[in-house]
Structure 1
Amino acid sequence: MAKTTVQYVCSECGWNGTKWYGRCPECGQWGTVEEFHESRPAAGSRTAAPGRTSRTQSAVVPADARAAARPITEIGTESVERLETGFSEFDRVLGGGVVPGSVTLIAGEPGIGKSTLLLQTAGNIARAVHQADSQRPSHSSSSDTVLYISGEESQSQVRLRASRIDAVEPNLLLASTTDLSTVLGLIEQHKPALAIVDSAQTIVSQEVDGISGGSTQVREVASALIDTAKTLDIPVFLVGHVTKDGSIAGPRTLEHLVDVVCQFEGDSETALRMLRAVKNRFGPTDEVGCFDMSGEGIEEVTDPAGLFLSGSGPNAADDAPIEGTCVTFTLDGHRSLPIEVQALVTTSVLPTPRRAVNGVDPSRIAMLTAVLYRHSKLNLLANDLYVSTIAGGRAKEPASDLAIASALASAATSRPIARATCAIGEISLTGQIRPAPRMEYRLREAARLGFTTAVIAPLRKPLHIDGLRLVEAGTLQDALASLGLTSGTKSSKR
């Protein structure tokens, strides 16, 4: 019988030892060291290394062919056929689709739509593989089923949600269980084209100790699912919970074990949802997918430009410019998004003026207010300042400084900025404007959306964008003057 040894493992950094500590000796976190029972195989069952003989064996055990070392030039580079999810935005984040045998972890806050996204994805894939299976030869062994295993809801509850989001397919199999052995048995029995386990924190293994959702149980569940996925070459989607600070619940090693880690983000007060790849072994990690949450499920937003702009856009003739607004362009992965910044300046009746922000870094507001006072002679220190973005957009990138300062100056001077004008640039404490990275991507997106003027920092290399006039301003005073908000020196135009 195999012997067991008791070890203590830190769920935060992965430190292990034979003694329990209230505070981890490695990372210094309190209450993260938990007991972990590791099974130790008997000495006679160990496999000898290639070329050597174990003390308990009389012959050499041949090494696994997959583990044999070969020259890298002899290893093939056959392209892997990815499985499309039915959402082009989801496929973009995954790097082109789901890789067979991969394990993808989808994490997010409660109620953000993780289960809805995956159930709708399961319906899309089930519909696609069923149509493809009808065109394949009858002797083909490819599976046309998709398996959805829920440890949080019953089968009838999942069925109700599937009916609401139009994900009911005859080859979509539903199961409700919290036992790891049952989950692995269902995957091995049906060998589906895709398996979804919702969620990792609700599945329990009877082979190890620990409560449901604990570090020991989550590690065991993830390891077993990964081993099954790699062995049967079946892709697995694994739902993960998050803690109060937004990090993925469970041991930190969970993120190291899986192949892809995606964060499903969004504000509960808005319908916009963003899917970001935190880790991806099969694609880039700087892609982001945009989705819209509705009562009928989740819809992808292939062009989210209009979500973050008020009115009908820069080309709308009936939309008059409004004071206190300015548009900038931020980068989210490879995608450039327009963000409209709105500012309101009022006379304060409080001893300490109020600073209220939404979608903007509060510390940047304090800094920009000081720069406006020092270098542009615009005193807002005694005013209440309210700065916000549209539809939950985020203007926390340093390249949004110029748009925020321009919106504040516009609100303070009651002078509107033209709707077809955008401002992109970082403002330093000296009042200088620094260029933003990958400026060409931002400007081309601005021209595509109909903007005709862009106020930017001086470019290192000449750049020409059809339909877009570039106004280069070296200082904040010059930029505000080019926007008609104050008098200043003449800016260079192209």
Structure 2
Amino acid sequence: MSKAARPAYRCGECGWTTAKWVGRCGECQAWGTVEEAGARQGVHVVKPGAVSAPAVPIGQVKAETAHARPTGVGELDRVLGGGLVPGAVVLLAGEPGIGKSTLLLEAAARTARHDTVLYVTGEESASQVRMRADRIGAIEDGLYLAAETDLAALVAHVEKVQPRLLIVDSVQTIGSADATGVPGGVTQVREVAGNLVRLAKERGMSTVLVGHVTKDGTIAGPRVLEHLVDVVLQFEGDRNSRLRMVRAAKNRFGPIEEVGCFDLHERGITGISDPSGLFVSRHPEPVPGTCVTVTIEGTRPIPAELQALVGPTEAPQPRRTSSGLDSYRVAMVLAVMERRLNAKIGKCDVFTATVGGIRLTDPAVDLALMLSVVSAAGDKALPSGMIVLGEVGLAGELRAVRDVRRRLAEASRLGFTRALVPAGSLENDTPRLESPKSRGGLVAVREPASRTTSFAPGFDVTEVENVWDALAHVR
């Protein structure tokens, strides 16, 4: 059906093909991933073959076998959506030394109390894993340990042990004799992952794969690895802190907004069921440049403190540095401040950060970020006991955010006494935009148009319509 077979080249990341070699993939834009894949063949007709099981109406498919089984680690089960589903394949990725093996060994030991678990390590010897298990108290009769780097040997262990849960640490260290390249290469990782996924589906065996990450934090190996698995978890944390967090980047069995919090210590890793207060520092007196907000991580409201430092500079290009915040979001908020509030920060260095190492991507923290920068620039502290919520628009308007009542209830539980929120947050009113009257100084200020109501005993909520009203109200 084609004139002649031409040499084809395929991207190892996404599978995109081209007739001639190029240095950059035209689909995923990755560099150096296009390799020769043999001759491009013409399209041929595939004849019908045998089916593994007949197709049935979806209403007749039994769903009881797909119910999640808890691992015993509450915070991990929260992120997974209740636990591990039989036949599901989970990819857990994180930086070296972050605590991936410790978390999975803890989960394996708890699961082994009622099910058979096989832990295959390709990075450490069996004795090294045993030493860690002794330290964290993860010795169980139902937990089997094998140190293997060959895929065929791994499958043989599965045939003999018949586990309900298989943990492979890590997928980049396992090699297959049927694939070219070295373990950890694109071809090898694709071959190993494909066989492990097939094995998990055939046996109804839950499988957890540990994955490496690159320098920029992305999962190493071909991008098809993330498509093959059912769940992708990111293990995050600061090496200088004991706090660790697990986020779901992909989850076919539950939400992807959930986050699990853990405390990594010398005796193992422990889930933190109530992380409220971990990301807020305690100051005896209000400090300029600080503002507290409440973010939503999945179904959990978490108070978080934002800090800012603003200082003049003689450098031709002022620095804009952020930690724990989206740098693009920070740049947008600073641009709104300069254009709408007439803030004089164009020749100042601006440093912004979160407390406790939490990473905030919720748009509801925009207003808190803006007020912390204003407070730092003016060297004037915001009122004590106040939280701030609101998404800032480019025109200076404040947009209502979701789950306001849950955020306010959590702030009230922790002892805060007041809140500043966008107008209409509690009653779904439509906020109105009104231009400011410039009066000079750092920012333009006008009389605030706001409404204060009592949300709970001892907790007042003030609704403001735009950034000018918010600024005027806290000064």
Determine if the alignment matches structure 1 residue 441 to structure 2 residue 441.
no
Total equivalences in the alignment: 441
CA distance in 2, matches of 1:418, 1:23: 53
Shift of 1:79: 5.8
CA distance in 2, matches of 1:378, 1:88: 46
Q: Is the 8 A contact 2:422 2:465 kept in 1?
A: yes
Q: Is the 8 A contact 1:105 1:262 kept in 2?
A: yes
Shift of 1:16: 4.5
Q: Is the 8 A contact 2:289 2:372 kept in 1?
A: yes
Other-structure match for 2:62: 76
The AA in structure 2 aligned to 1:269 is: N
CA distance in 2, matches of 1:385, 1:24: 37
Shift of 1:347: 4.3
Please state whether the residue corresponding to 2:167 is helix, strand or coil: strand
Q: Is the 8 A contact 2:88 2:230 kept in 1?
A: yes
CA gap 1:352/1:239 in 2 versus in 1, 3 angstroms = closer
Aligned to 1:303, which of 274, 296, 304? 274
Matches within 5 A, 1:218-233: 218-233=189-204
Gaps of 5+ in 2: 1-6, 40-45, 429-453
CA gap 1:260/1:430 in 2 versus in 1, 3 angstroms = closer
Shift of 1:222: 1.1
Shift of 1:353: 4.2
Other-structure match for 1:120: 106
Deviations 1:246-268 (A, max 9, x none): 22222222112112111112222
Matches within 5 A, 1:50-449: 63-64=51-52, 67-78=53-64, 80-126=66-112, 128-129=113-114, 144-311=115-282, 319-348=284-313, 350=315, 352-376=317-341, 378-449=343-414
Shift of 1:287: 1.5
Shift of 1:384: 3.6
Q: Is the 8 A contact 2:401 2:425 kept in 1?
A: no
CA distance in 2, matches of 1:174, 1:334: 36
Q: Alpha carbon RMSD of aligned pairs, Å?
A: 3.0
Shift of 1:32: 0.9
Shift of 1:375: 4.3
CA distance in 2, matches of 1:402, 1:172: 50
Shift of 1:294: 1.8
CA distance in 1, matches of 2:256, 2:410: 21
Q: Is the 8 A contact 1:369 1:381 kept in 2?
A: no
TM-score, normalising length from structure 1? 0.81
CA distance in 2, matches of 1:374, 1:24: 40
CA gap 1:72/1:472 in 2 versus in 1, 3 angstroms = same
Shift of 1:206: 0.9
The AA in structure 2 aligned to 1:122 is: A
CA distance in 1, matches of 2:355, 2:31: 40
CA gap 1:235/1:7 in 2 versus in 1, 3 angstroms = farther
**Which segment is superposed worse, 450-459 or 166-175?**
166-175
Q: Is the 8 A contact 1:305 1:338 kept in 2?
A: yes
The AA in structure 2 aligned to 1:256 is: H
Please state whether the residue corresponding to 2:465 is helix, strand or coil: coil
Shift of 1:286: 1.8
Shift of 1:234: 1.6
Please state whether the residue corresponding to 2:278 is helix, strand or coil: helix
CA distance in 2, matches of 1:251, 1:82: 28
Deviations 1:311-338 (A, max 9, x none): 18xxxxxx33222211012222232221
CA distance in 1, matches of 2:22, 2:372: 53
The AA in structure 1 aligned to 2:468 is: Q
CA distance in 1, matches of 2:285, 2:272: 27
Please state whether the residue corresponding to 2:305 is helix, strand or coil: strand
Other-structure match for 2:456: 466
Q: Is the 8 A contact 2:91 2:208 kept in 1?
A: yes
CA gap 1:479/1:10 in 2 versus in 1, 3 angstroms = same
Please state whether the residue corresponding to 1:307 is helix, strand or coil: coil
CA gap 1:365/1:238 in 2 versus in 1, 3 angstroms = closer
CA distance in 1, matches of 2:136, 2:300: 28
CA gap 1:376/1:365 in 2 versus in 1, 3 angstroms = same
Larger radius of gyration: 1
CA distance in 1, matches of 2:425, 2:303: 23
Q: Is the 8 A contact 1:7 1:19 kept in 2?
A: yes
CA distance in 1, matches of 2:25, 2:336: 44
The AA in structure 1 aligned to 2:195 is: A
CA distance in 1, matches of 2:160, 2:117: 12
Shift of 1:176: 0.7
Determine if the alignment matches structure 1 residue 33 to structure 2 residue 21.
no
Determine if the alignment matches structure 1 residue 9 to structure 2 residue 13.
no
Other-structure match for 1:132: none
CA distance in 2, matches of 1:124, 1:235: 15
The AA in structure 1 aligned to 2:83 is: G
Identity between Structure 1 and Structure 2 (%)? 49
Please state whether the residue corresponding to 1:304 is helix, strand or coil: coil
The AA in structure 2 aligned to 1:321 is: P
CA distance in 1, matches of 2:418, 2:287: 17
TM-score, normalising length from structure 2? 0.84
CA distance in 2, matches of 1:120, 1:269: 22
CA gap 1:7/1:208 in 2 versus in 1, 3 angstroms = farther
CA distance in 2, matches of 1:160, 1:34: 43
Q: Is the 8 A contact 1:359 1:393 kept in 2?
A: yes
Determine if the alignment matches structure 1 residue 480 to structure 2 residue 466.
no
